[in-house]
Amino acid sequence: MTYHIFDAFMQFGFMRRSLVACLALSVSLTPLGVFLILRRMSLIGDALSHAVLPGVAIGYLCAGMSLFAMGLGGFIAGLLVAMSSSWISKATKLHEDSTFAGLYLGSLALGVTLVSLRSSGVDLLHLLFGSLLAVSNDSLIFIGVIASITVIMLAVFYRAIVFESFNASFFQARSKRFPTLVHAMFMALVVMNLVAGFQILGTLMTVGLMMLPAIAARCWTNHLPSTLVIAACVGAMSSFLGLAWSWYQSIPAGPAIVLTATILFLLSIFFGREKGIMPIYNKSSETLTN
């Protein structure tokens, strides 16, 4: 049975490239998902994944299926929405999630409209859901560079990001400008990784690999470094099992990976040591018994 699971990866180069791309994204996307959870911004990743679509569409209209043009356009569009949302929330005293909701819905509609101006349905599906089993060497290098930059930046600014995530008000009081720069850098990393992910998972599926492993990891431990490691492992496991599932059952690869991550998330919800339903129920029963 084990041989059959690995068989597709051993025989076909495109399966190996897809797996490497997903593993690289698992290392960079999942830590960002953990920090988004700590900031109570879990749905912001979903909003930003839609917000990059107009920039991707403009890059597509200008240069066709150019990796660089669509990536640059998506990064600019996502960063513009993120920074505009932060500025509007401060200027109007609205919650940041409210401004994100308004901006990302408009961005999604604009992006779909722009793509439809010069595309077939196949092109639109490619942008929305990706083409994981058609990862090119250029895409693999692009994803590897983004993942490497993300890991290095998180390592260098780890303490600052942790401070800003747990107690932004205290951090802001101690330093006026640095917290703003840390927040902008963090959001830029989120946008960069979503742009990298859309190459293989599409704009609608990438956020699944970002958030589901992160939420699952939170069910197992309250220790932040352990949470980051578990999230990356869950992301890697979801990538491998999802790709194998898609190959042997002939289902789309991106949704298969996200569905696998959802199954691991549900198992964590029920059996997670710290926040799982069953351990909490057992502890409550022991307390009542004693």
Do residues 73 and 58 touch, judged by C-beta distance below 8 A? Answer: yes
More confident position, 29 or 10? 29
| Mean pLDDT across 106-134 | 68
Share above pLDDT 70 across residues of the chain, in percent, rounded to a whole number: 82
212: pLDDT confidence band, cut at 50, 70 and 90?
very high
* Alpha-carbon dihedral sign for residues 78, 27, 241, 3: positive
Do residues 240 and 213 touch, judged by C-beta distance below 8 A? Answer: no
pLDDT of 122 above 50: no
Share in percent of the chain as helix, strand, coil (round to 5): 85, 0, 15
Lowest mean pLDDT among 108-112, 153-157, 209-213: 108-112
Q: What is the residue extent of each domain of the chain? A: 15-282
User: Could you tell me which residues come within 8 angstroms of residue 256 by beta carbon, excluding any fewer than 6 positions away?
Assistant: 242, 243, 245, 246, 249
Lowest mean pLDDT among 13-17, 102-106, 120-124, 143-147: 120-124
What does 36-88 look like in DSSP terms, one character per residue? HHHTT-HHHHHHHHHHTHHHHHHHHHHHSS-HHHHHHHHHHHHHHHHHHHHHH
User: Could you tell me which residues come within 8 angstroms of residue 265 by beta carbon, excluding any fewer than 6 positions away?
Assistant: 212, 213, 215, 216
Q: How many Cβ atoms sit within 10 Å of the Cβ of residue 167?
A: 12
Residue 215 token pair? 């939420």
Please state, in angstroms and rounded to a whole number, the distance separating the CA atoms of residues 236 and 254.
13
Domain covering 15-282 assigned CATH 2.102.10.10 in the classification: no
Mean pLDDT (the chain) is 81
Do residues 28 and 151 touch, judged by C-beta distance below 8 A? Answer: yes
pTM of the entire predicted model: 0.84
Highest mean pLDDT among 99-108, 180-189, 227-236, 270-279: 227-236
Please state, in angstroms and rounded to a whole number, the distance separating the CA atoms of residues 57 and 147.
23
The beta strand positions in 168-271, using DSSP E, are: none
pLDDT of 112 above 80: no
pLDDT of 66 above 80: no
1: pLDDT confidence band, cut at 50, 70 and 90?
very low
Q: For residue 201, which of 244, 150, 256 has the smallest C-alpha distance?
A: 256
Cα-to-chain-centroid distance, residue 132? 15
| Mean pLDDT across 145-154 | 93
Ramachandran region, residue 131 (left: φ > 0; alpha: ψ -120 to 50; beta: rest): beta
- Residue 282's pLDDT is 64
Residue 248 token pair? 């042997």
pLDDT of 172 above 90: no
Highest mean pLDDT among 4-8, 160-164, 268-272, 280-284: 268-272
